[in-house]
């Protein structure tokens, strides 16, 4: 007579099958479920890369001085020191998956797959909130000294343009390593649109302009109130119909896509060049890797973890900016 089938081993067996199916698409699902992550994926600004000690990038520090001359003027060579390096660290995020012995007892064999599916979907949602969020995610204010949080937009574009470090480089001492900043005085309807227009120009240089503007929901509402009041029709038009079809409303502002993100910190908005300067680097093999289902030493359970490693990189702060105090109308 056959012995009893182990409930725990049956869970392990089914989880192993499901993990191989789910793992390859888990981060893709995460990166299509927030406004900014979706936009970054759409612009190929999410980069998978192999292992390296840190994420190091060459940054333009200064330019050689060009000057006019005539005839037999003496031309004096001056060696410039044009570049330095910004160094970003790997940041790690984890989300636990735990199934208790009681969960296993209550679930019949035919329900195991459904229970595990719910657990994985819950972990996926948690990873979306984490990576796309303001605590440990892409909107965080952490610098390279905090390895538990992504070096987010709150670090790249602070309210001060002359203090703090990004990628280990100081804004106080490196003039080229300073972002643009503008504030809506009093309330958005006073001068919000004018300030945004000026900030867009300040973030632009020749053919380099912001391609994405991320606002809070409140500032987004204020922007639409002010523009529709000005034009008396439902303008401006959408910048990306594909994003709208995917559930992410957006409009065009001087050709840039303007939208909101629920994780954007209050009274902050960001003017970004995602096509060229801002990237989310993700470690290959750790882009939401699902670990083995193992039993805790002192508990009746099975435990696994969803693991992610990467960081948000900026290689030209001057071509981006922060828009402050836009939430009040």
Give the total residue count for the chain. 329
Bridge partners, residue 313, by sequence: 279
As a whole number of Å, the end-to-end CA separation of the chain is: 76
pLDDT tens readout for residues 111-169:
889 999 999 999 999 999 999 999 999 999 999 999 999 999 999 999 999 999 999 99
Which pTM value belongs to this model? 0.92
DSSP-derived 3-state class of residue 85: strand
In this structure, what token pair is assigned to residue 92?
A: 């790690």
- What does 184-228 look like in DSSP terms, one character per residue? --S-HHHHHHHHHHHHHHHT-BTTB---EEEE-HHHHHHHHHHHH
**For the segment 257-278, what is each residue's pLDDT rounded down to a tens digit?**
999 999 999 999 999 999 999 9
Most confident range (mean pLDDT) of 6-15, 237-246, 279-288, 289-298 is 279-288
C-alpha 160/C-alpha 270 separation (Å) is: 14
Integer angstrom CA distances of residue 183 from 139, 177, 178, 189: 19, 20, 16, 13
301-322 confidence digits (pLDDT tens): 999 999 999 999 999 999 999 9
Question: Closest Cα partner for 143 from 299, 305, 311, 277?
Answer: 311
Question: pLDDT confidence of 1, banded at 50, 70, 90?
Answer: very low
């Amino acid at each position: 007579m056959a012995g009893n089938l182990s409930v725990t081993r049956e869970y392990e067996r089914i989880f192993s099958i499901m993990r191989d199916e789910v793992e390859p698409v888990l981060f893709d699902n995460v990166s299509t479920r927030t406004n900014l992550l979706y936009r970054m994926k759409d612009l190929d600004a999410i980069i998978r890369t192999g292992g390296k000690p840190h994420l190091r990038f060459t940054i333009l520090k200064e330019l050689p001085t060009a000057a006019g001359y005539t005839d037999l003027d003496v031309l004096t060579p001056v060696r410039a020191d044009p570049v330095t390096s910004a160094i970003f660290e790997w940041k790690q995020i984890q989300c636990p998956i735990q199934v208790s012995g009681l969960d296993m007892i209550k679930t019949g064999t035919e329900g195991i797959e459904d229970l595990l599916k719910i657990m994985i979907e819950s972990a996926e949602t948690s990873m979306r909130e984490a990576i796309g969020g303001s605590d440990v995610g892409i909107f965080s204010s952490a610098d390279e000294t905090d390895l538990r949080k992504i070096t987010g937009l709150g670090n790249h574009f602070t309210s001060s343009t002359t203090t703090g470090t990004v990628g280990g480089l100081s804004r106080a001492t490196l003039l080229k390593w300073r972002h643009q900043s503008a504030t809506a005085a009093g309330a958005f309807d006073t001068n919000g649109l004018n300030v945004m227009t000026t900030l867009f120009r300040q973030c632009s240089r020749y053919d380099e302009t912001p391609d994405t503007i991320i606002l809070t929901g409140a500032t987004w509402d204020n922007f639409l109130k002010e523009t529709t009041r000005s034009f008396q029709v439902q303008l401006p038009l959408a910048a990306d119909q594909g994003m709208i079809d995917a559930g992410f409303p957006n409009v065009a502002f001087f050709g840039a896509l303007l939208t909101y993100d629920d994780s954007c910190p209050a009274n902050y908005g960001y003017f970004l060049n995602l096509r060229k300067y801002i990237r989310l680097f993700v470690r290959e093999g750790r882009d939401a890797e699902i670990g083995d289902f193992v039993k805790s030493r002192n508990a009746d359970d099975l435990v696994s973890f969803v693991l992610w490693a990467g960081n948000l990189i900026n290689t030209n702060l001057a071509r981006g900016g922060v828009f402050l105090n836009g939430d009040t109308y």
